[in-house]
Copies of this chain bind each other. A is one copy, B any other.
Amino acid sequence: MDRTIGVLGGGQLGRMLQEAANRLNVNLITLDNGPDTPSKQINARSSHVNGSFTDPKAIRNLAEKCDILTIEIEHVDTDVLEDLSTGTETRDDWRLIRSTKVEVQPSWRTIRVIQDKYDQKEHLIKHGIPTPRSVPLSNHSIGDMKHLGEDIGYPFMLKSRTGAYDGRGNYAVKNISYIQAALDTLRDRPLYAEAWAPFELELAVMVVKVEDDAAADWQQATMAFPVAETIHEESICKLVYAPARNVSASTQREAQVLARRAVAGFWGKGVFGVEMFLLSNGELLINEIAPRPHNSGHYTIEACLLSQYDVHLRALLGLPIPEESLQFINRDTYSIMLNILGGAQSDSHLQVAQQALSIVGASIHLYGKGEARPGRKMGHITILASSMHEAQTRLESLINLVDQTQAAREQGLSDRIQASANSHKPALSEATLAASPIVAVTMGSDSDRTVLSPGIGLLRELKIPFSVTITSAHRTPERMFQFAKVSASQGIRVIIAAAGGAAHLPGMVAANTWLPVIGVPVKGSSLDGMDSLLSIVQMPKGCPVATVSINNSVNAAQLAARILATSDVTVRKRLEEHLANQTASVLKKAERMSEEGFDAYDLDQ
C-alpha cells in the first residue's frame, strides 16, 4: 500500500477515490486546476499539482511524484501518458525531455481508444462485442448526411467522436428535416453516426480488470458488480436502481458476462463503467464504456461490501479483491442513487440534500464544488432499503422536489440548444416504478380462481407485490417446470399454488425450486376436498409443501406474509397491524354479543 498514485482530474470521482484511499492510508496526489478541487479538499497530506489534466507539463510534473498514474476523467493528454509509460525521450521546444517511467492504469492505449467514441465502437466490434452500428462522417455536408441517413436508417444519433460528456455532443436526427440543425449544432467537431437502439432499459455494470494484458481470459481478468438500471434525463444520469428492476437473473448474468468480455479487450487495470441497452427482444448492446469509476457505480459505496473506488485502488496496487465482496451487502439490499444537480438557484441542490436528511436510509454525498451551475453534478444521495418497494417509497418526496427543481432549471435552459437535443430516452413513468413481485401465485385451473380471490385480496391489502398465473401440472407440465425453476432468480421469495383433486401442482412446483411453496387444497365435486388435501400435504421426505386448510387462500396469503416478515420489516409491520385488527374485530363482536344477547345477535351486521 506504499506506492503513490497520481490521479488526473480532481472532481467528484477523484474525491470518492480519495475517501477510499484515506481509509487504507494510500497516498494519492491529484492533478487539477486550482488548490481546492473536490478531491484535494479531503487530502491535506500530499502536495498536489495545480494544472490541467490536458497539459503535458502538468502531467509530467505529477508523474515525477508518483509510482502509478490513473484517471478520473478520460479527456486527458494520452501522448504524454504514452511517453511516461514507456520512458520515451521527447523534445519540448529545444529541450530534450526524458520522461520518468511510470505505470499508467488503465493503459494510455485504452484511454486513447475510448476517448474517440467511434474508435471505441470499432474496437468493440473487432472484439465481437455487440454495439449499435456506427459510421464515421468524413465530410460535414448535408449531402453526406443524407447518404448516411439512407444507409443507417432514421432515426439515428449524430455524435461527436471526442470530448463528449453527459450527453453534450449528441444530436438525435429523427428524420431528414433534422439534418441541418444537427450539423449546425455539432459542426465544429469530428462526428460519426450511430444506429438507433430501440431499447427498453439502460443497464450499467461496473467491471474491475485485474490483469495488464488485453484479450486475456475474461474470467481470469475481470470481476463484475451487480447490474444496475440507469434512468437518464436530458442525457444526464438521474437515477440508478441497483439491482436493476424487472430484469431476469439470466439477463443480469448475460449483462455481467458481456460487460466483462468487453472490458477484457482493453489494456491495463482498474474499474470500468459499462453502459448498455437492453432491447425489447432481450438482446444486449454496449452503449459506451468509461475507463474509470462511473456515476452508475456510486451505489456500491453503501450497497456492496466493497465500493467501485475500493476495488479501483486495489486493482491499481495489486491488492486482493475477494470476488464475493463485489456483491450486495446481503440478500435484502436494494438501493436507488439519485444525482443532485445544480438547479435554477445557486442553492437548489442544497434543498434536495436538506430534505434527504429526513429520509430513512438516505446517505448524502456533497462534493464540495463551489458554484452550482444548472445541471452540474453537485452531489448524490443513495437510499438503502430492504426491498425496492421500500426504497421507492422512501425516495418519493425527494423525486418530487427534484422534478420541481428540474422544471425550474429547464425554464432557465430553454434557450440552450444542447441540453435538450438528445431526447433519445424513455420518460420515467409510474409503470417503471412498480415493484417487482415477491410472491408468485399459481393455480392448476382457472376454476380455482374463486378460491384464490380472497387470498389475492389479502396480498393487496398487505401491499405485497405478487404475480398470478395458471400452470396445470397435467396439461402444461413444461410450463409448470419452467415457472418453478425461474421463480427464485426472478426475485420471487414465496410461491402459493392452489389445486384440486389429484392435486399435484404444489408438490411438483416444490420439487423444482428451493423456495418455500404453500399449497391450497381446492375442494372439488367429490370427497369434500379430502382428495386435494391429502394429495398436497402427504409429500414424501425431502420435498415439503406448506399446506393450509381446504379452500383457505387467505391463510395461504397470510402465511406468505409471515414468511416475508421474517426478513422484511415493512411487511412485518403491516402483518402485525393486520393481526391486531383481526383480534380487535373478534373482540368487538364479543362485546356486541354481550350487549345484544345471544338470541338477538345479528350475524350480518
Enumerate chain A interface residues (CB-CB to B < 8 A). 1, 19, 22-25, 36, 40-45, 305, 314, 319-322, 324-325, 329-333, 350, 353, 357-368, 384-386, 454, 493-494, 514-518, 533, 537-550, 552, 554-556, 558-559, 562-569, 572, 575-576, 579, 582
Contact = CB atoms under 8 A, between A and B. Distances in A.
A209 to B, nearest CB: 18
A567 B567 contact: yes
A333 B385 CA distance: 12
A359 B323 CA distance: 10
A579 B541 CA distance: 12
A52 B501 CA distance: 83
Given A332-B331, A563-B516, A41 B22 contact: yes
A333 B322 contact: no
A533 B544 contact: no
Contact of A559 (B305, B544, B565): B544
A569 B330 CA distance: 8
Contacts of A42: 22, 42-44
A541 B457 CA distance: 13
Given A24-B366, A41-B45, A330-B330, A542 B555 contact: yes
A305 B333 CA distance: 12
Given A547-B537, A548-B544, A314 B518 contact: no
Contact of A322 (B360, B515, B538, B550): B360
Given A325-B360, A494-B566, A563-B566, 7 more contacts: A19-B22, A22-B41, A305-B360, A320-B357, A324-B360, A329-B329, A542-B555
A237 to B, nearest CB: 20
In this complex, the member of A44, A363, A564 whose beta carbon has the largest number of chain B beta carbons within 10 angstroms is A44
A566 B516 contact: yes
A27 B322 CA distance: 36
18 contacts: A1-B353, A25-B368, A320-B357, A324-B360, A324-B361, A325-B360, A325-B362, A329-B384, A514-B579, A516-B562, A539-B555, A540-B552, A544-B562, A547-B547, A563-B566, A564-B566, A566-B566, A566-B567
A350 to B, nearest CB: 8
Contact of A554 (B329, B542, B556, B569): B542
Contacts of A361: 305, 324-325, 329
A188 B136 CA distance: 83
A515 B566 contact: yes
Given A357-B314, A563-B563, A552 B539 contact: yes
Contact of A539 (B454, B549, B565): B549
A60 to B, nearest CB: 24
Contact of A23 (B365, B552, B559): B365
A86 B595 CA distance: 66
Given A322-B360, A325-B361, A558 B542 contact: yes
A504 to B, nearest CB: 14
Contact of A576 (B368, B514, B543, B579): B514
Contacts of A41: 22, 43-45
Given A43-B44, A542-B554, A544-B552, A322 B567 contact: no
